[in-house]
Every structure is written in C-alpha cells, then in structure tokens.
Structure 1
C-alpha cells in the first residue's frame, strides 16, 4: 500500500491548526502524523514518534487521500459510553414527567419496568435527568429545636 502524503500550503496550514487547536487529542495526533509524513518521515518513524501502530498511520494517509480533512475527523466516539442506557433514561424521563418522585422512587420504577437492576448509581441518574432538563432537589433534614432554651456560658 502506497502511503504518500502531499499537501498544498492551505492543507498544511489547516493540519497545523488542527494539530494545535482541536479539542480532541486523537484528532491532534492524526494531523501531526500527516504533517510528519508529508515532511518525508518513514511510516515506522511516525508511528514510533506518536506511539501508534504503522497500520494506523497507513489508515490516516488513506483517509486523507479519500476524504481530506473530513476523513481525519471521523471516528471519535466522544469518550466513555453512558452508564445509563437510553431505554432506561427514557423510562426515567417518563416517570419524572408524570409525577413528582424522589430519585430512589424513579430508580425503583426503572428496575420494575426493565426487570433488571440499574447499572449505575442514583447520583448518575440525577446527572442524566439534569442533562434532560429536570431539577432534582435533595430532601433536607431539619434539626428540631429543643423546647427548653439553652443559655450560653
């Protein structure tokens, strides 16, 4: 497989900006790899420098030739998958919309509807509901004041 990368001045500038400023590290690394490859470094040297496999560098070059910058920007999945599956989140939103419930009651409703325990903590459920536009209020325990007043020493 031929792995040559030839860049115009505009493409080189675009990749330089992408390698410096993109918010995801994997895209910055891809742009850096193509810039190194365009300077004439061997695939093995680029792979060693960026701590990736040689096949990865070949894949970047192929994606660049096929799709340009768009080929490099495909593939980022955004990190860790959600702990609460979409079906359970939909059940939680439906339950929270129907009536006023505590998080524990919503979690119990989810478990009864889906027939399995929640795969996450109740706090994670609170964050997911907050992201969906709901607000969760924590119940406060008030201290009862003594009927007899205490004098301060």
Structure 2
C-alpha cells in the first residue's frame, strides 16, 4: 500500500452576479450579526480567499466556514438563514404572555393590573419589569402609554406679552 499524504480539500464556490448581489445585501443589511458574517464569509470564499484566511478575518473556526459552504451548496440562501440561535431568551413564557393578552382583551387595565393578573394565574411573581411586559404586549399587537396629567392651556395664557 502506498503511503500518501492527503492534501486538504480545496473549498471554493462560484457565485453568479445575482448570488453575489444577494450575499452583499445579506452582509450589509440583515438584522442579525451572525447572518451578516455568513454572507461576508461566502463573498470572501467566492472571491478566492482561503478558508483559513476567512476564518481568521471573521473570527470564526475553519469548520464554521466549511459548514456555511455546505449549507450554501445544499440549500442556497435558505441554508444560510437557518439556525439563528443568538439573543437572550424571552423573560416571559408563552403562557404568561397569553394570560397578559387575555387580560388586556377582557377589559382596559394598566400594566400593573395586568402584571397582577399574571401573578395570580401563575402563582409566582412577575419575572421581569413592567417595561418588558409592555414590550411583549406590543409584540402581540397591543400598545400602552403611561397615563399623564396634561396641562390645559387656554388662549389667554398663550397670548401674554
């Protein structure tokens, strides 16, 4: 048997103009940083850079660049857009959000009253601030404003010299 050194497999992709433009848009405008990095990596790979150089430049492992390449070859853009795992998990579970939405739909309530409904339904204190609850309700299609006293100005007050 002949003892051969296995040379590393060359990892390259060829991109047409439409694919390049799509990856450029992904790299510039996607809201998640990890997707922007994936787009940059494939653009660099398409430009002929080596996997090691790309991994060093983008601060990822070589295996990650190979994974992006395989995902691109198998599923195209959809392969790159799968798997965003970043970000902090929501403070409120789905049950708590459903309870809050139901309470908000039942009658007009303040955020504090909605929070009390959630606490009563779950038997535990609200795991977040009221602002977080307001954000979750906003995602569900509700909006709340803090009640304020307004100063009513009449015409005589505005026309003082």
TM-score by length of 2: 0.73
Give RMSD over aligned pairs: 2.6
Deviation of residue 137 (structure 1)? 4.5
Gapped regions of structure 1 (runs ≥ 5): 143-153
How many residue pairs match? The answer is: 143
1:7-22 matched pairs, under 5 angstroms: 7-10=14-17, 11-22=19-30
Deviation of residue 29 (structure 1)? 1.4
Give the distance between the partners of 2:62 and 2:48, measured in 1 at CA: 15
Instruction: Please point out which of 90, 93, 96 is paired with 1:88.
Output: 96
Give the distance between the partners of 1:65 and 1:3, measured in 2 at CA: 14
Give the distance between the partners of 1:131 and 1:39, measured in 2 at CA: 40
Residue matched to 2:123: 115
Gapped regions of structure 2 (runs ≥ 5): 1-7, 151-161
Higher mean displacement: 90-99 or 129-138: 129-138
Tell me, what secondary structure is at the counterpart of 1:116? coil
Instruction: Please point out which of 62, 68, 90 is paired with 2:70.
Output: 62
TM-score by length of 1: 0.76
Give the distance between the partners of 2:102 and 2:77, measured in 1 at CA: 41
